[in-house]
Chain A
Amino acid sequence: MKINFIKYTAALLMSSIVLVSCNNNDDEPVIIKTDFSGTFAQKDQMGRPAVNTVFTSSASKDEFNVTIPSEQNASFQAMFEANLKGLSPAFANMGDKNALGQDAAAFTGLLATDVLNVSLDGTTTFYDGTNVLTGRALADDVITVELLLIFGGEDFTENPTLSDDNVNANDKDFLTSFPYLASPW
């Protein structure tokens, strides 16, 4: 009992010392703290390039931007598959595939979850002829890759006039060092 009383008194004393010492800067100039308070609600999101633009029906584009990736497949895969077949009718044929060996369901199943897959182990590229979807580098010609996967058929040879926009590089050279992007115009 008595020991407890001493314990509590000591604890109280200690905490008041700590509290006082927390507060002992009263005489110093007041530092205005930068305000980061509040709740921030989602308005836009993006994983892979051009997915919402190309595959989501216009009335659903806002909804796509506020659907978390883990729920996008359930909400959007069927819509993506229908729109892919509209864009590139060959995909409606039984057994038709893209150069990744994916039929319409598999291809849109990949795209509907709009995240960028990035390797921690080496080359990071959207597609470089060898590596597929291991990241996205600045110089990657992502649009031509996507056009090839949409229009190019099983071996990238179908619809050659639709499967390459013939813009293969940026208008300015990228930097080899941080921050990597070219200076503004």
Chain B
Amino acid sequence: MKKSKILLGTVILGIIGLITVAADHIDAPAAQGTSADITDFYAFQAENTSNLVFVANVQGLLSPSATNTTNFDENVLVEFNIDTNGDNVEDLVIQAIPRDGKMYFFGPVAPSVTGLNSTISEMSSIKGEVAISAKGSNAVIATNAAGMKMFAGPRDDPFFFDFAKYSEIIGGTASAFSTPGADTFAGTNVLSIVVEVPKSMIGTSGTINTWVEAKVKQ
């Protein structure tokens, strides 16, 4: 009896684990629903093919009205990590942190220390800032002397997935996706940080490994 209860609990927990959402939206108990919850990460060649674009989205599933009252958190550092030599340890970081209506950028720069704890590389020779865009206004785009472009502000969530149907399949109440499916993320916003960087600041050719981190001030 007791054992079967525990088993049932494990199964339910397992199902909850599988259905707790999406790309990285609310992926884990400690981060979900907080200002440090990463929803998505993209890295792609820019319109100018000499550049790379990095996108980090945080605080997902914002309704249009919630978007008006949701801001970047000044205690949360968003850090793009770039490994250029294949050991999955960051050789370069681009740090982004908001202060008083602006998003400040530092790097690409070698971090003072790698791993779970960061300090902000204020002394980096490469830096920039951009006013955080408001919903309903044109996107504010800043450039810096290094040729980087910077943006921060609310955007439509670029992620698309019939997450509701996936949850039903995993939960055992559906056996197939619908045709067509329904995008669970339609009509919702995220807070986006977009930075475009000349490839020459990262490397010459080959493959990099990259990931994004949200880090909270202690």
Interface residues of A (CB under 8 A from B): 34-47, 49-50, 52-54, 56-59, 61-62, 64-66, 68-70, 87, 113-125, 134-138, 141-143, 161-162, 164-172, 174, 176-185
Q: How far is the CA of A13 from the CA of B178 in the complex (A)?
A: 81
Given known A-B contacts A143-B161, A161-B175, A41 and B218 have beta carbons under 8 A apart: yes
Q: Known interface pairs A138-B44, A184-B189. Does A46 touch B38 (Cβ–Cβ under 8 Å)?
A: yes
Contact B87 A180 (CB under 8 A): no
Contact B24 A53 (CB under 8 A): yes
Q: Judge whether A39 and B21 touch: CB under 8 Å.
A: no
Within 8 A of A (CB), among B63-77: 63-64, 67, 76-77
Among B36, B176, B194, contact of A162 (Cβ-Cβ < 8 Å): B176
Give the Cβ gap from A48 to chain B, nearest Cβ, in Å.
Answer: 8
Report, nearest first, the 8 A-B pairs whose CB atoms are least far apart.
A58-B17, A161-B176, A61-B28, A40-B215, A166-B181, A179-B151, A171-B186, A47-B211
Within the complex, which residue of A47, A113, A162, A178 is in contact with B141, where a contact is CB–CB below 8 Å?
A178
A contacts with B: majority SS: loop
The smallest C-beta distance from B168 to any residue of chain A, in angstroms, reads 11
A69–B211 contact, CB under 8 A? yes
A36 touches B67 (CB 8 A): no
Q: Which residue of A lies closest to B115 (CB)?
A: A68
Tell whether, in the assembled complex, residue B177 and residue A42 are in contact, meaning their CB atoms are under 8 Å apart. no
6 CB < 8 A contacts A-B:
A41-B218, A70-B88, A120-B202, A183-B156, A184-B189, A185-B188
CB neighbours of B120 from chain A (8 A): 36-38, 40
* Cβ contacts under 8 Å, B27 to chain A: 44, 46, 52-53, 61, 65
A57 contact set on B, CB distance < 8 A: 14, 17
Known: A44-B28, A120-B205. A170 touches B160 (CB 8 A): yes
Q: Chain B: which residue is nearest A163 at the CB level? A: B177
B179 on the interface (CB 8 Å rule)?
yes
Closest CB of chain B to A70's CB: distance in Å?
A: 4
Residues of A contacting B144 in the complex (Cβ-Cβ under 8 angstroms): none
Identity of the chain B residue whose Cβ is nearest the Cβ of A118 in the assembled complex? B43
Q: Which B162-198 residues have a C-beta within 8 angstroms of A?
A: 162, 165-166, 169, 175-183, 185-189, 192, 194, 196
B residues 20-70 touching A (CB-CB < 8 Å): 20-24, 27-31, 34, 36-38, 40-47, 49, 52-53, 55, 63-64, 67
